[in-house]
Amino acid sequence: MNDSETLIGLVSQYSPSGQERGAVEWLVARMKALGYAEAFVDAAGNAVGALGSGPRQVVLLGHIDTVPGEIPVRVDGGVLFGRGSVDAKGPLACFTDAVAAVGALEGWQFIVIGAVEEERNSEGARFLVDKYRPDFLIVGEPNRWDRIALGYKGVAWAEISLRRAQTHTASGEQTAAEAAVELWMAIRKQTETFNAGKSRAFDQILPTLREITAGQDDFSQWARLKVGARLPLEMPPKQWYASLRKISSDAEISPVGYALPAWACEKNSSLVRAFLSGIRSQGGAPAFVYKTGTADLNIVAPVWQCPALVYGPGDSALDHTPDEHITLNEYTKAVKVLAESLKNLTEK
């Protein structure tokens, strides 16, 4: 097997959210070619491959969709350029190849999943919540071959609407637009107070003003803000929305999309220990990271309540960028790390 065949082939299938079918079918065919006992497209459109039939189960959950923006796929000096090479087809291909390398083990079943829609509303992962109850969960996101991610922040979005009575511009009365700006500054002040003394970004509220619009009709003025926040463990979405309502008592707060609480994985688990040994086996010095983004981990881990972590090759600083790329050497190391980690885990 060419060490990079799965990676290059998968990256070559352009698959922005909502257009994953071609990549899904390619991965299913690839899994079959690699000897998976079963490979299929599930009812949500996810690519699923199973190897082994034991009662103990490891789910390796990656995502097969990318953000839009096709990048010509090429290999130059041992570096693969292409959309998804980092986020997150690199990790998903790594899962596929590592499980194939380990093969079927008595008493165990490996399930590799390429989920759809992660870059939008994670419809693929939401479908899986009631379908599996694994003993261990590995989520595929790029954090470099020698690091393990143990936490991802939560997220919540809201649209805030304000109205003010129509007045003459010379009246000195506060306009709806001015009230909206004042409200945003109050939100910023509240988060600064919450964040005081918290050195890690993972423990802070990170607010974002994505959009502000204003206008008027015959008798009133209006303003709308679209506000988001990356949330720490201490601030679940319900509490964040309550704080917004308290600050903006005369505004209408409407949650937008799916809110997700932050999640941190257990650090002292047999799964983590297996990966520490796997990374060291390839000459790495393992490290832990806690991310400011959100992943499918936040959706399935609270329900499955099993030991979990996030692993995958690639530099996350290149996520969504026009220069997205991964070194083939790092990819090969990550496959070896994961294969060794799975062997360590299943020998316990």
Query: pLDDT digit string (tens) for 119-172?
Result: 999 999 999 999 999 999 999 999 999 999 999 999 999 999 998 877 655 556
pLDDT (0 to 100) of residue 169: 57
Q: Tokens 């509240």 label which residue? A: 190
> Which of the listed residues 209, 232, 260 is the one where a domain comes to its end?
260
| pLDDT band at residue 54 using 50, 70 and 90 as cut-offs | confident
Task: Please provide residue 311's backbone torsions phi and psi, each rounded to the nearest 5 degrees.
Answer: -145, 150
Give the whole-angstrom CA distance, residue 304 versus residue 311. 18
Domain total for the chain?
2
> Which of the listed residues 229, 260, 291 is the one where a domain comes to its end?
260
- Flag whether the pTM goes above 0.75: yes
| pLDDT over 90, % of the chain | 91
Mean pLDDT for 175-194 is 94
End-to-end C-alpha distance for the chain, whole angstroms: 29
pLDDT (0 to 100) of residue 59: 98
Residue 192 bears catalytic tag: no
Shared domain check, 319 and 306: yes
Residue 118 bears catalytic tag: yes
pLDDT (0 to 100) of residue 210: 94
Shared domain check, 241 and 134: no
| pLDDT band at residue 173 using 50, 70 and 90 as cut-offs | confident
Mean pLDDT for 91-112 is 97
CATH of the domain at 291: 3.40.630.10
Shared domain check, 279 and 133: yes
Q: How buried is 245 (Cβ within 10 angstroms: 0-12 exposed, 13-18 middle, 19+ buried)?
A: middle
Strands 252-260 and 79-81: unpaired
> Which of the listed residues 209, 241, 260 is the one where a domain comes to its end?
260
Structural domain range at position 245: 154-260
CATH of the domain at 175: 3.30.70.360
Shared domain check, 190 and 84: no
Mean pLDDT for 176-195 is 94
Shared domain check, 134 and 72: yes
Q: Give the gyration radius of the chain's Cα atoms.
A: 23
Is residue 226 within 8 Å of 157, Cβ to Cβ? yes
Tokens of 190: 């509240």
Give the whole-angstrom CA distance, residue 50 versus residue 63. 16
pLDDT (0 to 100) of residue 301: 98
Shared domain check, 163 and 41: no
Q: Tokens 């190849």 label which residue? A: 97
Shared domain check, 137 and 10: yes
Query: SS3 for 193?
Result: helix
Shared domain check, 206 and 326: no
In the sheet that holds 154-165, the strands lie side by side as: 206-216, 220-231, 154-165, 252-260
**Catalytic site residue from 65, 87, 97, 119:** 65
pLDDT (0 to 100) of residue 170: 56
Handedness of CA 303, 308, 314, 317 (dihedral sign): positive
Mean pLDDT for 48-52 is 97
**Catalytic site residue from 20, 117, 118, 324:** 118
Mean pLDDT for 100-105 is 96
